[in-house]
């Protein structure tokens, strides 16, 4: 039996801020008139009409089954500014029940728990979303007396008795009394009873119809479940997030939660997904106070001021608490070839070098032929003064660049010290539990220690390595795949190509000052393009190695040598998008054909978008994307042809008649 979704929520409506008529109209879908404000309450029709009905106690008057009159009577009788108008209950209905079964479970529950206790109930079942059927229950907060009139009192006075049941008296000899509620509808005990009764009713109806779900009113912790519950969003939050989803879908971008509790729910979902890898380890759960033990272990750590200061520096940059995974992530980022800060410094140094080169050539041109500087906006008479000012500004820029580069290296060194410090702490915690000099990697030790901290699961030492290999390895991997690095560099190189093309085309229509800036930019981006082209050539052997591991029978040195980096990275990206099972059962011909079809489809899609230009993108960008996908398709075709050619050669070689050499000569050596 699977665990069904349980929701039971209560609230009260207040006369100061809410209208009972409006609430009843919205939930039932009926148009109702309010005597209080003289307005007709009507709301937009729902895609699925609510199923609305009312229930009343036997002694309540018949008019209480008239929705409009009931809530107008309530608002007239509860005339204080802050009076409570209704108690509101929201319950989730099982989506594996039919509408008839949903009505049955709701009606039976409301009758037994509310109506039989003296309340009038206004029930509306909503089924707009087939995955989220639910019932709104509006309840009166005041009883009816036996004559069918509103009870004017909500409490009464009763004698105050001592522990032996005798009447108590005050100092003047007067009998003492106390005020008690006419009913227990306000008590916490009653609320908990209603919650429990709802789960019992759901289970009863589910058993009656042979449905395969059970329901519990208890918290996850009380049930012994290790998952965390999600927070139900308010209607306003839910509708806002739905609009955000639609907007993201229309823009073709990834949806990200915006409101506070929607973000928290994403964190909860991620946490609960992570539990799939530890459910089978519940037998190793321990009641030892491990978190307190780990705190004591950390307090015994030898104080290292330099490493602690480095960790503080990394915490400021990462904007989170630094543990082993965070320290490792920051370290990996600073030592990655695609680090954003490092790439900015590379752009800055190339720009500075381009400016220095420009001024060297400028001074040389001036010494040989002074009028040549006019095309850059300089005057012959004041040339030296103008250049001196620009060189001073360049020197100031150089100093700022040096400061930023030193800061980068300072943080890079701090990432090394911080990681070293976290590794030492990790070793100390691991050894304190297992009393063993580990042969395990830091990632394996962290996996074991984190199981103890988060879930109180203490794995046997001999199981750590195998469990990490199966469930922890993917989470610990922070190295950026080679194909991803190649894709990023290809994208950057394409931007530089478009920039250089644009700079070259506009050179004849510029003022002298703009022409000077154009030449500096052109040299800067030329050097950057060369720099990234060199990096791509360094990545190519790594891509070859990974492709040969993925496709050992099809990929040889000759095929890879004739294939470009873009084709290789595209194939690896598609390959790593497959599950392990799909990778094992992969058929190379089908895989290559799917990759080719995808690149062709992308090419035609870009061409269609270019014609309509619905997204308002520059034509040059469309052309760049079209060239990319066309080039990719051509690369895949060439690679496929080379694989087929190699396969044909291998087949011819294997089918060769090995008796041919012997038939040329007879046994006596004569030619035949």
> Lowest mean pLDDT: which of 176-190, 264-278, 404-418, 613-627?
613-627
**Is 171 part of any domain?**
no
- What average pLDDT does range 241-270 have in this prediction? 85
> Lowest mean pLDDT: which of 57-66, 182-191, 471-480, 493-502?
471-480
DSSP output for 535-546? HHHHHHHHHHHH
Residue 454 sits in the same domain as residue 584: no
* Closest to 110 measured CA to CA, from 206, 8, 25, 218: 8
**Is 580 part of any domain?**
yes
pLDDT at 238 over 50: yes
pLDDT at 156 over 50: yes
Residue 209 sits in the same domain as residue 226: no
Percent of the chain predicted with pLDDT > 90: 32
Start-to-end Cα distance in the chain = 83
Q: 341-394, pLDDT tens digit by residue?
A: 998 999 999 999 999 999 999 999 999 999 998 988 899 989 999 999 999 999
**Diameter of the chain measured on Cα atoms:** 147
**Could you give the angle at the alpha carbon of 92 between the alpha carbons of 88 and 93, nearest 5°?**
125
Report the mean per-residue pLDDT for the chain: 85
CA distance 189 to 181: 14
- Say if residues 403 and 428 touch (Cβ distance below 8 Å): no
- What average pLDDT does range 392-418 have in this prediction? 95
Cα–Cα distances (Å) from 255 to 248, 270, 273, in that order, read 5, 15, 19
pLDDT at 226 over 80: no
Tokens 């040389």 — which residue?
Answer: 364
Q: What is the number of structural domains in the chain?
A: 4
**Per-residue three-class SS string for 115-158:** HHHCCCEEEEEECCCCCCCEEEEEECCCCECCCCCECCCCEEEE
3-state secondary structure (DSSP) of residue 78: coil
Residue 489 sits in the same domain as residue 631: yes
Residue 224 sits in the same domain as residue 192: no
Q: 505-556, pLDDT tens digit by residue?
A: 888 888 888 888 998 999 999 998 898 888 888 888 888 888 888 888 778 8
Residue 521 sits in the same domain as residue 541: yes
Residues facing residue 180 across a β-bridge: 156
Residue 196 sits in the same domain as residue 226: no
pLDDT at 398 over 90: yes
Neighbours of 194 (CB within 10 A): 17
In residues, how long is the chain?
672
* Strand ranges (E), 411-545: none
- Say if residues 418 and 307 touch (Cβ distance below 8 Å): yes
Residue 89 DSSP symbol:
E
Q: What angle, rounded to 10 degrees, do the helices at 383-434 and 340-368 form?
A: 160
* Closest to 72 measured CA to CA, from 5, 23, 135: 23
Neighbours of 264 (CB within 10 A): 14
475 burial level (CB within 10 Å; 0-12, 13-18, 19+): middle
- What average pLDDT does range 646-658 have in this prediction? 63
CA distance 134 to 51: 11
Q: Residue 519: which domain range?
A: 482-654
Residue with the bigger pLDDT between 646 and 656: it is 646
Q: 94-147, pLDDT tens digit by residue?
A: 999 999 999 999 999 999 999 999 999 999 999 988 888 999 999 998 989 888
At residue 654 the predicted structure's pLDDT band, cuts being 50, 70 and 90, is low
* Closest to 543 measured CA to CA, from 488, 484, 590, 493: 484
Residue 412 sits in the same domain as residue 490: no
Quote the pLDDT of residue 622.
59
Q: 429-483, pLDDT tens digit by residue?
A: 898 888 876 688 899 999 889 888 888 888 888 888 888 887 765 554 556 788 8
**Is 277 part of any domain?**
no
Which long-range CB contacts under 8 A does 426-434 form with residues at least 24 apart? Answer: 426/324, 428/297, 428/298, 428/300, 428/301, 429/294, 429/297, 429/298, 432/293, 432/294, 432/297, 433/290, 433/293, 433/458, 434/461
Quote the pLDDT of residue 161.
85
HSE-CB at 111 with a 13 A cutoff on CA atoms is 10
Give the gyration radius of the chain's Cα atoms.
Answer: 38
**Is 669 part of any domain?**
no
Positive/negative CA dihedral, 433, 437, 442, 444 = negative
Neighbours of 612 (CB within 10 A): 7
- Say if residues 179 and 155 touch (Cβ distance below 8 Å): yes
Q: Which residues, other chains included, contact 164 with Cβ-Cβ below 8 Å and sequence gap of 6+?
A: none
**Is 299 part of any domain?**
yes
> Lowest mean pLDDT: which of 134-148, 197-211, 592-606?
592-606
Can you give the CATH number for the domain in which 121 is found? 3.30.930.30
- Say if residues 506 and 518 touch (Cβ distance below 8 Å): yes
**Is 90 part of any domain?**
yes
- What average pLDDT does range 388-409 have in this prediction? 94
pLDDT at 570 over 60: yes
Residue 322 sits in the same domain as residue 225: no
Tokens representing 396 are 């100031």
3-state secondary structure (DSSP) of residue 13: strand
Quote the pLDDT of residue 671.
54
CA distance 581 to 590: 16
> Lowest mean pLDDT: which of 106-110, 192-196, 316-320?
316-320
Residue 576 sits in the same domain as residue 643: yes
- What average pLDDT does range 296-306 have in this prediction? 81
- Say if residues 113 and 39 touch (Cβ distance below 8 Å): no
Residues facing residue 156 across a β-bridge: 180
Residues facing residue 135 across a β-bridge: 91, 125
Residue 577 sits in the same domain as residue 591: yes
**Is 664 part of any domain?**
no
Tokens representing 260 are 């506070």
Residue 582 sits in the same domain as residue 433: no
Residue 225 sits in the same domain as residue 213: no
In sequence order, which ranges of 551-587 are alpha helices (DSSP H)?
557-561, 565-576, 580-584
CA distance 654 to 447: 50
- What average pLDDT does range 161-180 have in this prediction? 85
Residue with the bigger pLDDT between 429 and 288: it is 429
HSE-CB at 533 with a 13 A cutoff on CA atoms is 10
CA distance 548 to 559: 11
354 burial level (CB within 10 Å; 0-12, 13-18, 19+): buried
CA distance 68 to 71: 6
**Is 191 part of any domain?**
yes
**Per-residue three-class SS string for 360-427:** HHHHHHHHHCHHHHHHHCCCCCCHHHHHHHHHHHHHHHHHHHHHHHHHHHHHHHHHHHHHHHHHHHHH
């Amino acid at each position: 039996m699977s665990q069904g979704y349980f929701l039971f929520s209560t609230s009260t409506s207040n006369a100061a801020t809410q209208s009972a008529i409006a609430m009843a109209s919205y939930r039932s879908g009926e148009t109702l008139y309010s005597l209080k404000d003289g307005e007709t309450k009507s709301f937009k029709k729902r895609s699925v009409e609510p199923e609305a009905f009312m229930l009343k106690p036997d002694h309540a008057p018949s008019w209480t089954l008239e929705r409009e009159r009931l809530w107008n009577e309530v608002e007239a009788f509860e005339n204080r500014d802050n009076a409570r108008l209704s108690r509101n209950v929201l319950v989730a209905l099982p989506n594996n029940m039919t509408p008839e079964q949903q009505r049955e479970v709701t009606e039976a529950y409301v009758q037994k728990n509310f109506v039989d206790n003296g309340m009038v109930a206004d029930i509306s079942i909503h089924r707009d979303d087939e995955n989220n059927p639910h019932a709104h229950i509006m309840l009166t907060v005041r009883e009816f007396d036996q004559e069918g009139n509103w009870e004017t009192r909500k409490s009464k006075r009763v004698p105050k008795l001592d522990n032996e049941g005798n009447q108590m008296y005050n100092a003047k000899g007067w009998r003492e009394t106390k005020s008690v509620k006419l009913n227990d509808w306000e008590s916490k005990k009653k609320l908990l009873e209603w919650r429990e009764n709802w789960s019992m009713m759901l289970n009863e109806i589910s058993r009656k119809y042979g449905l395969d779900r059970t329901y519990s009113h208890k918290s996850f912790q009380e049930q012994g479940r290790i998952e965390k519950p999600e927070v139900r969003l308010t209607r306003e939050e839910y509708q806002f997030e739905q609009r955000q989803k639609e907007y993201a879908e229309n823009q073709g971008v990834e949806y990200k939660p915006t409101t506070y509790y929607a973000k928290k729910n994403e964190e909860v979902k991620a946490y609960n997904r992570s539990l799939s890898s530890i459910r089978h380890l519940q037998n190793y759960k321990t009641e030892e106070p491990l978190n307190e033990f780990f705190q004591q272990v950390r307090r015994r750590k030898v104080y290292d001021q330099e490493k602690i200061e480095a960790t503080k520096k990394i915490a400021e940059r990462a904007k989170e608490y630094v543990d082993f995974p965070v320290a490792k992530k920051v370290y990996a980022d600073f030592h990655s070839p695609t680090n954003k800060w490092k790439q900015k410094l590379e752009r800055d140094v190339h720009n500075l070098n381009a400016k220095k080169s420009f001024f060297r050539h400028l001074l040389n041109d001036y010494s040989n032929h002074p009028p040549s500087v006019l095309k850059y906006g300089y005057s012959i008479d004041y040339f030296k003064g103008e250049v001196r000012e620009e060189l001073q500004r360049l020197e100031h820029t150089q100093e700022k660049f040096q400061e930023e580069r030193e800061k980068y290296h300072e943080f890079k060194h701090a990432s090394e010290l911080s990681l070293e410090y976290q590794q030492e702490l990790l070793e100390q915690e691991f050894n304190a539990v297992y009393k063993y000099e580990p042969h395990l990697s830091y990632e394996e030790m962290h996996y074991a220690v984190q199981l103890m901290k988060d879930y109180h699961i203490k794995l046997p030492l001999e199981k750590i390595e195998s469990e990490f290999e199966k469930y922890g390895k993917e989470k610990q991997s922070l190295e950026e795949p080679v194909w991803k690095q190649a894709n990023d560099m290809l994208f950057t190189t394409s931007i530089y190509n478009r920039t250089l093309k644009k700079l070259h085309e506009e050179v004849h229509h510029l003022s002298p000052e703009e022409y000077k800036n154009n030449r500096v930019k052109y040299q800067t981006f030329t050097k950057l393009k060369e720099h990234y082209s060199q990096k791509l050539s360094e990545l190519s052997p790594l891509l070859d190695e990974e492709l040969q591991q993925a496709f050992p029978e099809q990929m040889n040195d000759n095929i890879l040598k004739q294939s470009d980096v873009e084709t290789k990275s595209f194939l690896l990206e598609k390959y790593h998008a497959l599950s392990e099972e799909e990778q094992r059962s992969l058929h190379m011909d089908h895989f290559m054909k799917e990759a080719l079809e995808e690149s062709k489809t992308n090419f035609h899609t870009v061409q269609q978008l270019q014609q309509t230009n619905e997204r308002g993108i520059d034509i040059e960008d469309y052309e760049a994307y079209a060239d990319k996908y066309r080039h990719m398709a051509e690369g895949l075709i060439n690679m496929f042809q080379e694989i087929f050619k190699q396969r044909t050669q291998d087949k011819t070689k294997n089918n060769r008649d090995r008796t041919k050499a012997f038939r040329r000569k007879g046994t006596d050596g004569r030619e035949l």
